Amino acid sequence: MPREYLKKATLTAQSHASEVHETVKTILEEIEAGGDDKALEYAKKFDRYEGSVLLSPEEIEAACALVPEKLKADIRFAHDNVRRFAETQKATLSDVELEIVPGFVAGQKAIPVDAAGCYVPGGRYSHIASAIMTVTTAKVAGCRHITACSPPRPDVGVAPAIVYAAHICGADKILAMGGVQGVATMTYGLFGLPKANILVGPGNQFVAEAKRILFGRVGIDMIAGPTDSLVLADGASDPFVVATDLVSQAEHGYNSPVWLVTDDRAVAEKVMELVPTLIHDLPEVNRDNAFAAWRDYAEVILCGDREEMAACSDDYAPEHLTVQAEDLDWWLDRLTCYGSLFLGEETTVSYGDKATGTNHVLPTSGAASYTGGLSVHKYMKIVTWQRATREGSKSVAEATARISRLEGMEGHARAADVRLAKYFPDEQFDLSADG
């Protein structure tokens, strides 16, 4: 049967994507030209903060002292899980070498980037987990310098729990600056910081646009849009749990899409009945976001069978994909496009967002069709090398000369010719393009 939309989105995540471009471009250009002073000017304007920009060891210690011991224990628990998972990921990368022909060896090395800039949102919500996810993976990768950057609150500064998390996870510097000015500071190496080689971490639309504009000049984890989540649910699922999971992700932002794909009409209708009540029960600060996201961006899609459900999910390529259905192994084998997969009612996106060890910085807006999320690998450069004996280079030089001449690249061909002439002066070689 064709897909039936019981609820269709009226807006998409890209509906307002172009509106901030010129603003962000102007801010970046002005900060690059004006340096520290212009960055401080924007920090005063947007952050409404005039305290220390780079936290001193004493300020870090004072902030850490404000964090309750139970929260510290929870942060250490999450950090340990993220660290161990990142270490396991790093172990999958190894330096290798291969003898291409006798006497000619080529190899691969994995080298961490030198300086990482980790953006940690701190506006409406203090994203403690983002500090853990970004700083820990950079540390495990082996980056020599890690800056954690988070928006300060007026007359308060960076949230103490974010400071504590960034500190124990290995940040070398903690920057009290938000938005475009924070991203620019890390990119341009202001206030004595090294210029970042890569920028990572989630942020609002201004942060995302700044990273998009700067990409190429600096590496980024991904070009991120609003967070999105999809739930696959069959007739065996619990509609209350499904609805709760959808609402939990809708609270991220007014433009955060949530989607339900099911082959059971009764489940779909019950979830649609439950969601508004669950949103109404949220605290007011969370309620407005969830309500707008559900009203304008959410979709409920009825499919004919599980194969059609899986195909629908792959088409959406969601950032977060939850399966609340029977035969979880089938879904694990079948699904191909997602940022992170949550199999069964016993786990939830919230677990991955905070504490299980897998990273919560994930591809959005369909990007999961071609890339995964933040991992220790994002900070690693996979580079190659080669070494040869003179005899080992002979056959490679001959092939290189002929291929280069066939392409019309005579300079390349002569780089091979000169070696053959030097190493094998008594031998004759046919190095013409048609040889």
- Which sequence positions are flagged as catalytic? 319-320
Query: Is the sign of the CA dihedral 135, 88, 380, 203 positive or negative?
Result: negative
DSSP string, 199-268: EES---HHHHHHHHHHBTTBEES----S--EEEEE-TTS-HHHHHHHHHHHHTT-TT--EEEEES-HHHH
- Closest by Cα among 392, 400, 389 to 101: 392
DSSP string, 142-155: T-SEEEEEEPPBTT
Give the strands of the sheet with 198-200, arranged side by side.
173-176, 145-150, 115-119, 198-200, 219-220
- Closest by Cα among 312, 205, 294 to 256: 294
Query: Is the sign of the CA dihedral 164, 165, 170, 174 positive or negative?
Result: negative
Report the Cα–Cα distance between both ends of the chain, in Å, rounded.
60
CB hemisphere CA count around 373 (13 angstroms): 27
C-alpha to C-alpha distance for 197 and 150, rounded to whole angstroms: 18
Taking the CB of residue 383, how many other CB atoms lie within 10 A of it?
Answer: 11
